[in-house]
Amino acid sequence: MQLKRPLAASFAAARTCSQEKGSQVIQVDIPEPVKSVLNVLESGGYEAYCVGGCVRDSLLGRVPEDWDAATSALPEETMALFPGRAFPTGLQHGTVTVREGSLRVEVTTFRTDGTYADSRHPDSVTFTRLLEDDLSRRDFTVNAMAVDLRDQLTDPFGGQADLREGILRCVGDPEKRFSEDALRILRCLRFSAALGFSVEAETARGLRSCRELLRGIAAERVQVELTKLLCGFAAAETLREFPEVVGTVLPELLPMVGFDQHSRYHCYDVWEHTLHALDAVPAEPVLRWAVLLHDAGKPACFTRDERGGHFYGHPAVSAQIADAILRRLKFDNATREAVTTLVLWHDRDIPRTEKGVRRALMKLGETRLRQLTEVKRADNLGQAPEFRTRLRELERGTQILDGLLTQNACFSLKQLAVSGRDLMELGFRGPEIGTALNRLLSAVVDGDLPNETAALLSAARAQDFLSV
């Protein structure tokens, strides 16, 4: 098994302090409010631990996003220990949220999961007083560790060793665990991409063989996991290794895999090019989704002549594919529109002139234009080295953009020196107003009129203003 990034190993090793009577003492900086919750539970005579992702991240030297606590106390016993500040947020799963200072700590009773009829939800959960039972229901060894107030680590499945080696391994039989809950398949790929860990061989076999079960997972959950996967620093490596698994939820990607471009501009097939571009773009959801999908339409648009392969019209086809995928995964409209616009525009040339950049600004706005520059940059970095000549041009475009913004150049109706009201006073009515405003803006952006009230009103007064 190969380690994608050996960094994790050194962090884990550095954090291990000593070995005491077969159990390890480690150094975890549990935040004070969490400590105080664990303390109250222990004083009540129960066991209490930090568990799961926060232990994993602490051992890796990362700052955990949230701290989950697990306890032998039953939910009603936890509620009784925190009168007035405990809320039954997920009682059927044994979860009580405790308010402690400014923090909310989720406290979950040790539990084991019953059978799974639907690869999604356990049919029942059973509470238990044993920590090890609770750890055994967790997905991966690196997520199945607990630490108590005395920094005592409980690690029954070798999670620490796997962290050190950078390995994702199922707790128990991978096929059984993935068929119980198919979301674990995507969680596995997401952790692999985010932590740069490799997937242990049996676990990899298990997730491949269970991949069809992913079709039963709610779109919103697939969306969350895929976005986290794409934003991982090792996303390209994970996608390269498991295209058929990701292809179960994104079948539109599969035609790209191995698709020869027959083009001197490209040294990679469409999929490899996409992965190289993905590596080159900042890890931000809109950018990563746009780059993943920017060439998805290429296979359908392929033609070939004596000059080589062509993909005429592929940005529009890719944008349609992106739109369909993002709708299916129930993305919000803003994200969907941003991604599809970037995909549609990724191959358009934006002239490196003030006029060219002002026009692009008028159509896209500053945020989208800057994102487009990132997408184009990444796209170019994914091409054959001798054709990575676009980078200088893109830099020049950004300089012009920065210059225009410092000069407060006009590129939107908001900035135009006349308003709809001014035009109404001139006698414009209804839809004429919008048409006239857009015409004036176009003229200003093109440099044909100055953005000055008198000049704009006088242009609008011209008899043939709306007819030309």
113 vs 374, which CB is nearer to ligand ATP?
Answer: 113
Minimum gap (Å) between residue 139 Cβ and Mg ion? 12
Q: How far is the CB of 197 from ligand ATP (least distance, A)?
A: 13
Would you say 29 or 66 has its CB closer to Mg ion?
A: 66
Nearer to Mg ion, 53 or 382 (CB): 53
Q: Measured from the CB atom, is 163 or 441 closer to Mg ion?
A: 163
Residues 235-274 that bind Mg ion (CB under 5 A): none
Contact assessment for residue 319 and residue 257, using Cβ atoms and an 8 Å cutoff: no
By a kind-dependent CB cut-off of 5 to 8 A, residue 181 interacts, out of Mg ion, ligand ATP, none, with: ligand ATP
Comparison of 65 and 386: residue with beta carbon closer to ligand ATP: 65
Residue 138: contacted member of ligand ATP, Mg ion, none (CB under 5 to 8 Å, by partner type): ligand ATP
With H, G, I as helix, E, B as strand and everything else as coil, classify residue 29: coil
The piece of 65-73, 110-118, 153-161, 274-282 that touches Mg ion (CB under 5 A) is 65-73
- The stretch near Mg ion (CB under 5 A) out of 22-30, 66-74, 258-266, 442-450 is 66-74
CB of 33 to Mg ion, least distance (A): 16
Alpha carbon distance 166, 148 (integer Å): 24
198-199/167-168 β-pairing: parallel
Choose from Mg ion, ligand ATP, none: what does 32 bind? Cβ within 5-8 Å by kind.
none
DSSP string, 156-170: TT-HHHHHHHTEE-B
Q: Please, which residues bridge with residue 309 across strands?
A: 304
CB of 52 or CB of 297, closer to ligand ATP: 52
Q: Which of 424, 444, 445, 437 is nearest to 466 (CA)?
A: 437
Task: Burial-class residue 421 by CB neighbours within 10 Å (0-12, 13-18, 19+).
Answer: exposed
Query: Any bridge partners for residue 71, and if so which?
Result: 48, 109
Closest by CA position to 67, among listed 59, 55, 75, 77: 55
14: left (phi over 0), alpha (psi -120 to 50) or beta: alpha
Task: State the nearest-atom distance from the C-beta of 436 to Mg ion, in Å.
Answer: 55
Residue 317 CB contacts under 8 Å (≥ 6 apart), including other chains: 296, 297, 300, 301
- Judged by the rule CB under 6 A, the positions of this chain that interact with ligand ATP are 52-53, 65-66, 68, 138-139, 143-144, 181, 183-184
DSSP letter, residue 105: E
Q: Which stretch binds Mg ion (CB under 5 A): 48-56, 267-275, 365-373, 424-432?
A: 48-56
Q: In the bound complex, which residue of the shown chain has the CB atom lying closest to ligand ATP?
A: 53
When the beta carbons of 68 and 295 are compared against ligand ATP, the nearer one is 68
**Backbone phi and psi for residue 314, each to the nearest 5 degrees, phi listed first:** -65, -30
- The nearest distance, CB 113 to ligand ATP, in angstroms, is 8
CB of 47 to Mg ion, least distance (A): 20
Six token digits for residue 423: 């035009």
Across 120-155, b (16+ Cβ under 10 Å) vs e yields eebeebebbeebeebbbbbbbbbbbbbbbeeeebbb
Is there binding between residue 159 and Mg ion (CB under 5 A)? no
Q: How far is the CB of 444 from Mg ion (least distance, A)?
A: 51
Judged by beta carbon distances under 5 to 8 A according to partner kind, the member of ligand ATP, Mg ion, none in contact with residue 306 is none
Taking the least distance from each CB to Mg ion, the nearer of 55 and 86 is 55
- Six-digit token pair at 267? 């040294």
CA 139 to chain centre: 21
Work out how close the CB of 62 gets to ligand ATP at its nearest, in angstroms, rounded to a whole number: 9
Distance CA 38, CA 67 (A): 11
> Nearest approach, Cβ of 104 to Mg ion (angstroms)?
13
Alpha helices in 329-413 (DSSP H): 333-345, 354-381, 390-406
For ligand ATP, give the closer residue by CB, 52 or 174: 52
The three-class DSSP label of residue 113 is strand
- Which one of residues 26, 34, 53, 270 is an interface residue with Mg ion (CB under 5 A)? 53
Residues that bind Mg ion (CB under 5 A): 53, 66
